[in-house]
Amino acid sequence: MSPGRAAGPVVAVIRARPPVPETTVADRAAALTRLDEALAAARAALFGNPILAAQAALLADPALIGPARAAIEADGRHEAAAWRDAIAAAAASHEALDDPYLRARARDLREAGDAVLRELLGGGGLGLPSAPAIIAVDDLTAAEAASLPPTILGVLDRRGGPTSHAAILLRAAGIPALGGVALDPLPARVAFDGATGELVTDSDAATETRFRAADLLAPGPASVILPGGEALEFWANVAGPADAAAAARAGAFGIGLARTEMLFLGRADMPGEDEQEARVAAMIAPFRGRPVVVRLLDAGADKPVPFLALAAEENPALGVRGVRALLRRPDFCAAHLRALLRAGAGHDLRVMVPMVTFAAELRAIRDLLTAAAADVGCKPPPLGAMIEVPAAALTVPELLAVSDFFSIGTNDLTQYALAADRGHKDLPGFADAGHPAVIGLCAQVCRDAGTAPVSVCGEAAGDPATARLLVAAGIRKLSMGAARLGTLRAAFLASAS
């Protein structure tokens, strides 16, 4: 779930919450007020994190709140029982859908619902140990992952996996974690490696010394000199202020991918320009003086953004997503660009366009960027294409006329090149960015780009073995999560020496 090594005592943690009252209430108006106050408190807590903001948005959905309020008003149900049943019904309806991403949204519903129940009933949080320890937990939630204290050395999750929001937050915080770990009985001590999956139970002192966690976010050089004399730069992928601060502390060269979709996921309302500006500005603030690449909203496929009103699709991974979605909503795209330009004032800002296939798409975005810059009163920043579609990788000479730089997204490039859904549970072996076909496409992009900068911002950039293949293919800029910077830097420093 999250790279890094941890060793020490292991403690099982549980969630203790008072039972939900099944009684009726005498004062229905007071019960409605208590529900509204709990909703507001839960939304405020969740909105503090860009990943959790999607859950916060669910707590403003009338389709979710309406049935709970109706049960209180019509039947006098206790507010906690009414809310619990509304969440259960909504989650069950999502779990019955054909689309795998929409089915997965049931988890967000349940987690957001639990946040409100904690406000209504008290309790429900993890009973965390006060002394430093590794915790064993059943299905860590994103909110729980975001609030773990520094005393938590690592996480063993009985159900969690690497694509969950909890895993993303653990990686951003540099907390090692393994998923799918069921230890019965639970040993007193463990040592594990969150990158390789190696796990030692009842570890002795010598083993724990070997596994003792290094500081994954310790400062280090932003680049190394390769044996041939060229510099290899280490950049960071960020989704919010916390992981941007961690990446800056770890010495990243710059932000290679700032994910703006975390501002929008699950939102039924379009954030105004001022809100977008404020949140993007907070995300990139730690990198003032260093280059920052902000990706335009990458909506569609597994990233639903309701306010864009994109039609349901049988195969959304091959449908209206990325730049295709942006060009269908030019008014939003123009506002989005103005917000990014204002947020980037005083920064070395570059703007990246997701899912580019044709030069015409990038040319249309450049026209919108030029107009937005005129509105804001600034010069247009460099505009680049994200290479995720094999057709784009094979036609870089055409894109060069309209693109100032390129960034290869290996996650999607791999799934399209190998014709396998990147999240398919039965095809994990196909999620291999080191496959010769993928590395060959990366090499061709480097050759055809000439002097235009080329980086890699997919997960493969943070894996030492795959990163070496990418460097051999000509890549000189690798962008990854902050927790991977130390490991990758160490690997190349060792080979350079």
Residues 157, 1 contacting (CB under 8 angstroms): yes
Longest pairwise C-alpha distance within the chain: 79
Residues sharing a CB contact under 8 Å with residue 30, sequence separation 6 or more, in sequence order: none
Q: Looking at 165, 333, 347, 446, which residue is catalytic?
A: 165
Alpha-carbon distances of 307 from 180, 240, 279, rounded to whole Å:
35, 21, 18
E strand or H helix at 233, and its extent? Answer: strand 231-238
Residues 137, 155 contacting (CB under 8 angstroms): yes
Q: Say how far apart CA 47 and CA 263 lie, in whole Å.
A: 10
Per 3-state DSSP, what percentage of the chain is helix, strand, and coil (rounded to 5)?
45, 15, 35
Q: Looking at 333, 442, 446, 457, which residue is catalytic?
A: 457
Please report which residue ranges of 124-272 form alpha helices under DSSP H: 142-146, 165-173, 205-211, 241-249
Q: Say how far apart CA 441 and CA 390 lie, in whole Å.
A: 7
Let me know if 457 is a catalytic residue: yes
Q: Give Rg (Cα) of the chain.
A: 23
Q: Say how far apart CA 72 and CA 295 lie, in whole Å.
A: 44
Alpha-carbon distances of 408 from 56, 431, 442, 460, rounded to whole Å:
32, 15, 7, 10
DSSP-derived pairing of the beta strands 454-456 and 223-225: unpaired
Beta-bridge mates of residue 300: 303
Q: Say how far apart CA 487 and CA 131 lie, in whole Å.
A: 27
Let me know if 165 is a catalytic residue: yes
DSSP-derived pairing of the beta strands 348-353 and 291-295: parallel
Contacts for 250-253: CB closer than 8 Å, 24+ residues apart: 250/216, 250/217, 250/218, 250/219, 250/220, 250/482, 250/485, 250/486, 251/219, 251/220, 251/221, 251/222, 251/485, 252/222, 252/287, 252/290, 252/482, 252/485, 253/222, 253/223, 253/290, 253/291, 253/477
Residues designated as active site: 165, 457
